[in-house]
Amino acid sequence: DRLEERAPHYNALVTLTRARALKQAKKAEHDIALSKYRGPLHGIPWGAKDLLATSGGIPTSWGAKPFKEQAFQYDATVVKKLDQAGAVLSAKLAMIELAGGMGYRQPNASLTGPCKSPWDKNTWAGGSSSGSGSAVGTGLVSFAIGSETWGSILSPANNCGVSGLRPTFGRVSRYGAMALSWSLDKIGPLCLSADDCGIVLNEIA
């Protein structure tokens, strides 16, 4: 409900994955009550940059209007790994269209419009993982996954006052993620702290 109400004020949300989130949350609650605890991310809500494939009819727009209804029949590896960790996918988050293929200085080049910094709505959240940085900084999700080719994790982390981790190339599988540059793309977390980034990386690496 908080995501649905507040995220549009920051242009951070592309798709609310309500049905999947509630199903995962109920399962997490049930398993934890039975002491089937999967680890520190079990039951924790998170958001995915909208270049990560998600199954179940959830669109993956790549941030671009022509692909707004695009859907895949499988989950990206990083999504699968977080599912296995018990994390709850709550949202597909805004990004610069096609991951900033025209540069990182294009605030308007986003399906939802320019994402805003949690600290100043007149300031851009940064590119291209704009929605990921904004949603974490505003407390709409506990952590988010972004991707970086040139500066797409570090830029929104800086502009939104959160911690971003750009892993070593190849540390995290890119299967199911839109490719901007096969030899440069990296997937990593945006979180409230460096410690949280380490917890997430431990599950997705």
Q: What is the DSSP letter of 47?
A: E
Q: Give the model's pLDDT for residue 155.
A: 95
In the predicted structure, residue 115 carries a pLDDT above the cut 70: yes
Is 49 catalytic? The answer is yes
Q: What's the pTM value of the predicted model, to 2 decimals?
A: 0.96
3-state SS string for 75-136: CCHHHHHHHHCCCEEEEEECCEHHHCCCCCCCCCCECCCCCEECCEEEEECCCCCHHHHHHH
Q: Is residue 152 flagged as an active site residue?
A: yes
Catalytic residue among 61, 132, 134, 152: 152
Q: Is the pLDDT of residue 62 over 70?
A: yes
